[in-house]
Amino acid sequence: MKYSVLIRDDDNSKKIAEYIKKNIKYSYDENNPEIVIAIGGDGTLLEAFHKYPNSIVFGLHTGHLGFFANYNPDDIDLLINDINNNTYKTEKIPLLSMLIEEWNGNVYYEDAINEATVLSPVKTLILDVKIDDEILEKFRGTGLCVSTTAGSTAYNKSLHGAVVDHDLVVMQLAEVAGINSNAYRSLGSPLLVSSKRRITLESDMPLELSVSIDNLSYSLKEFKRITFYYQNHFMNMGYHNLEGFIKRIARTFIDSGK
C-alpha cells in the first residue's frame, strides 16, 4: 500500500502532515498512491481528487468549511489507525462527466465532484441549452453552472440553486446573471435534471470563454459545445463515521458554533 499527502498552505496543516507521515506505516509515493490524505479545506480535497482520481481520498478538515471532510484535527490518531489497520470504510461519490468540444477539433474530457461553469464575463454569452438534444432555450447572460448533487452546496448555492439530498443523483442547471426582458427570455430559475439525461450547452459560432471544473480552469478560443452526463464514475472517500446529510448541512451553513 502506498500513500500521499496534499496539504493546505498553513502552519497547522503542515504540522499535522508531519505527524501523520511519521506514523503511517505504508510507503510514501507521490506518483501512484492508493491512498491520499487531503489536509485543509474542500479546495485541498478537490485538488487531491483531480491529481489522483483513482485513489481513496481521506479529508482532514483544517480549513473554514470542510463540507466533504470526514476527519477533524481531533481525529488524527483515529485517521492513522484507520489507514494502518484498514478499519476505514469508503463512500462512492458520483461524478459528473463532461465532453468539451471546440470548432478547431480540440476535445477535452473531465469529471467534476462539484460543478462546471461556462462563463463569458467580457461580453454577453449566447448558448443553446438542450436537454437530451431537445432545445430548452437560447440563454443570454454571463454564464451557466451545472452542478452535481454534492456540488449543490458549492457555487450552485451562491446562485440560489437548491441544496439537494445526497440520496438523489441529479444535475442542476443554474444561470449566472441571465438576461430576461421583453426581447430575451430564459427559464430564470435553477433546473433539476435526472441523472439519466444529458445537458448540452452549444454555440452556433466559435466563442472565446472560460470553463471551470471544480478547481480547474480552461480558457477556450473556439468553444463549440459542452455536454454533461453521468456514466458511473465515482470518487472514493475514506471515512470512519460518516456524518449524516442533515447534520453536515446544519454544521456548514446554519450552526454558529455557540
CA 146 to chain centre: 10
Helices 76-85 and 11-23 cross at an angle (nearest 10°) of 30
Residue with cell 482520481: 53
Name 127's Cβ contacts closer than 8 Å, sequence gap at least 6.
118, 138, 139, 144, 201, 202, 203
The single-letter code of the amino acid at 159 is L
Catalytic residue list contains 204: no
Cβ of 6: how many Cβ atoms within 10 Å? 21
Please choose, from the candidates 91, 65, 116, the residue with its C-alpha nearest in 3D space to the C-alpha of residue 167.
91
The single residue of 9, 10, 29, 42 carrying the catalytic annotation is 42
Cell numbers describing residue 92: 462512492
Q: Just list the catalytic residues.
A: 42
